[in-house]
Each structure stands twice: as structure tokens, then as C-alpha cells.
């Protein structure tokens, strides 16, 4: 049994799962407050949703980083050679 490979697979799974937690919470909060703002001020919906999209992309980047790390562990692992 190769423990390094096992640890890499576990590490990749944990990276994706925990890396999805934080951004999910953050995106939920961001969308919720954007909805709140649009409900208060419907005429500003255009600029709010534009800023929201850019912000969501920024938040999503953290999840994408975790995904890239997981893929590195699975496909380009420097330890396994």
C-alpha cells in the first residue's frame, strides 16, 4: 500500500470539500445582501448586479484555487514522481 498516494487522494478530497465550504457561505451572504439592496432600491439593480457578479467571481477564485491544488495532487503530484 502506497501511503503517499492514499494521502494525496485524501488531501485532494479534503481540499475540494473544505475549499467549497467557505466560498459557498460567502457567496450566499453576498447574494443575500445584494437581494436586500435590490429590494430596497430597485432602480439601482443594474449596477448592484454588475458589482455582485464581479464580487462573486472574486469569491469563487478561492474555491478554484482549492480545485487546482486538488488537481495538482491527483495529476501532477511532485511527491509521487
Partner 1 sequence: MNSPLESEALFELGPIPVTQAILTTWVIMALLVLGAYVLTRRLTLRPTRWQAAIELIVATLDTQIAETTGARPAPYRAFIGTLFIFILAANWSSLLPGVEPPTAQLETDAALALLVFVSVIWFGVRGDGVGGYLKSFAAPNPLMIPLNILQSLTRVFSMFVRLFGNVMSGVFVIGIVASLAGLLVPIPLMALDLLTGLVQAYIFAVLAMVFIASTVADGTSKQSLTENQKET
Tell me which residues touch partner 1 (CB under 8 A): 46-47, 50, 53-54, 57, 60-61, 64-65, 67-68, 71-72, 75-76
State the minimum distance, in angstroms, from the CB of residue 45 to partner 1. Answer: 13
State the minimum distance, in angstroms, from the CB of residue 46 to partner 1. Answer: 8
Contacts of 10 (CB under 8 A, 6+ apart): none
State the minimum distance, in angstroms, from the CB of residue 30 to partner 1. Answer: 14
Between 39 and 76, CB nearer to partner 1: 76
Grid coordinates standing for 57?
A: 467571481
Amino acid at each position: 500500500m502506497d501511503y503517499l498516494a492514499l494521502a494525496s487522494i485524501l488531501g485532494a478530497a479534503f481540499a475540494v470539500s473544505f475549499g467549497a465550504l467557505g466560498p459557498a457561505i460567502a457567496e450566499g451572504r453576498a447574494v443575500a445582501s445584494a437581494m436586500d439592496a435590490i429590494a430596497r432600491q430597485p432602480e439601482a439593480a443594474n449596477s448592484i448586479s454588475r458589482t455582485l457578479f464581479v464580487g462573486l467571481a472574486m469569491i469563487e477564485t478561492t474555491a478554484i484555487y482549492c480545485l487546482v491544488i486538488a488537481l495538482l495532487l491527483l495529476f501532477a503530484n511532485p511527491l509521487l514522481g
